[in-house]
């Protein structure tokens, strides 16, 4: 467990926190006028190893060798040039800070952090963090890595759960959910939609599937996996007979066949570790999927005819309908897809480099 303190005066700026993996949707911008919830669970923090936020440099200002040194292999609009290692926490875990009024950038519906750190240490006034709560952004506080330091606190650090314990815990991420908007004078409106977390997770995984394909067609398992992946794979990859098959693999799943070339595997929600197979399939390309999303793909949860708990008498079935279906076809998150793809060396292949260069065309086609 750790607390973060101000480098200027040593004042504590957070409650005690334990480290978890950075969510795949941490920097997602979802829709327009959408009220997204808090990004991080209370009591946790995550670290972004890459620079994020201002100052920004346009791609034309970056030498190709510098881009490759930073792990960028294809052009992007702009590259963050701040200090790497930003720490993200839940807003309710911040302590001893004040908003800086002159840095309150955003204000469509809230703060977006575009003007740099907008929270200062209450003790010495040093800018230490950015509060993000504008529409279409996940609510969070991002601590500036050069303005805080991490100190251990008394008490045992939670031991990461094993894969078996994660299965037993069963923290699914449902594929669809009610999404709130700021469109009404009387309060929030809601509509049923694909989960923003799923759109980001699939966007990241789709980039890996393309890299693993080698320019050959790829199929995924039938069902929900096909619903969220196959339409984009068919549109983005060349057609042909030499099909590669991606299979779900991970804890509680059958051992993949020896000829499995692509595996959809879970990432550990606490450590960020990717599940690794043993045996002859160790050479397969692992496509990382956040654990809660992977769990639903691997072990779909049906609409239960009886409540998980409660007092309904024996033999009585619930009569409430299942959750509504989203009204549109699934679209992967463009930002998560592009962010991942340009950081994969395979994107230097001519056939694959064409995809990020023509993202607008694929957005109009409804893939993103």
User: Distance between CA 239 and CA 256 in Å, rounded?
Assistant: 25
- What percentage of the chain reaches a pLDDT higher than 70? 90
User: Distance between CA 49 and CA 161 in Å, rounded?
Assistant: 23
Alpha helices per DSSP H over the chain:
64-69, 163-169, 196-213, 224-236, 291-298, 334-341, 350-357, 359-364
The tens digit of pLDDT for each residue in 1-23 reads 899 999 999 999 999 999 999 99
User: Distance between CA 354 and CA 348 in Å, rounded?
Assistant: 9
Q: CA geometry: angle at 208 spanning 249 and 177, to 5°?
A: 75
How many residues can be counted in the chain? 368
pLDDT at residue number 320: 62
Alpha-carbon separation of residue 342 from 1, 75, 229 (angstroms): 34, 7, 19
- Beta-strand pair 262-267/285-290: parallel
pLDDT at residue number 186: 47
The tens digit of pLDDT for each residue in 188-242 reads 677 889 999 999 999 999 999 999 999 999 999 999 999 999 999 999 998 888 7
The tens digit of pLDDT for each residue in 18-28 reads 999 999 999 99
Residue 359 in tokens: 């993202």
- pLDDT reading at 297 higher than 80: yes
């Amino acid at each position: 467990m750790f607390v973060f303190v101000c480098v200027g005066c040593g004042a504590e700026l957070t409650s005690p926190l334990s480290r978890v993996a950075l969510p795949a949707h941490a920097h997602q911008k979802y829709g327009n006028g959408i009220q997204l919830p808090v990004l991080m669970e209370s009591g946790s923090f995550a670290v972004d190893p890459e620079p994020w936020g201002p100052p920004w440099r346009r791609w034309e200002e970056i030498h190709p060798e510098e881009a490759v040194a930073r792990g960028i292999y294809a052009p992007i609009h702009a590259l963050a040039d701040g200090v790497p290692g930003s720490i993200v926490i839940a807003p309710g875990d911040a302590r001893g800070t004040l908003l800086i009024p002159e840095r309150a950038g955003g204000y469509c519906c809230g703060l977006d952090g575009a003007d740099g750190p907008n929270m200062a240490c209450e003790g010495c006034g040093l800018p230490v963090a950015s509060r993000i709560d504008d529409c279409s952004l996940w609510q969070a506080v991002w601590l500036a890595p050069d303005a805080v330091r991490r100190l251990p606190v008394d008490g045992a650090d939670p031991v990461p759960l094993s894969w078996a314990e994660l299965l037993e815990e069963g923290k699914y991420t449902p594929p669809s959910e009610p999404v709130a908007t700021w469109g009404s004078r009387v309060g929030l409106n809601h509509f049923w939609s694909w989960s923003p977390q799923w759109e980001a997770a699939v966007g990241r995984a789709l980039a890996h599937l393309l890299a693993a394909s080698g320019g050959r067609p790829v199929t995924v398992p039938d069902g929900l996996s096909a619903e969220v992946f196959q339409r984009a794979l068919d549109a983005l990859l060349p057609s042909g007979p030499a099909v590669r098959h991606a299979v779900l693999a991970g804890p509680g799943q059958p051992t993949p066949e020896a000829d499995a070339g692509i595996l959809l595997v879970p990432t550990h929600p606490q450590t960020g570790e990717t599940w690794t197979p043993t045996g002859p399939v160790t050479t397969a390309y692992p496509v990382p999927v956040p654990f809660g999303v992977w769990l639903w793909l691997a072990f779909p949860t049906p609409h239960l005819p009886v409540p998980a708990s409660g007092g309904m008498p024996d033999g009585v079935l619930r009569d409430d309908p299942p959750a509504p279906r989203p009204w549109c076809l699934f679209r992967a998150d463009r930002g998560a897809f592009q962010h991942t793809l340009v950081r994969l060396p395979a994107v230097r292949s001519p056939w694959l480099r064409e995809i990020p260069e023509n993202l607008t065309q694929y957005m109009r086609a409804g893939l993103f």
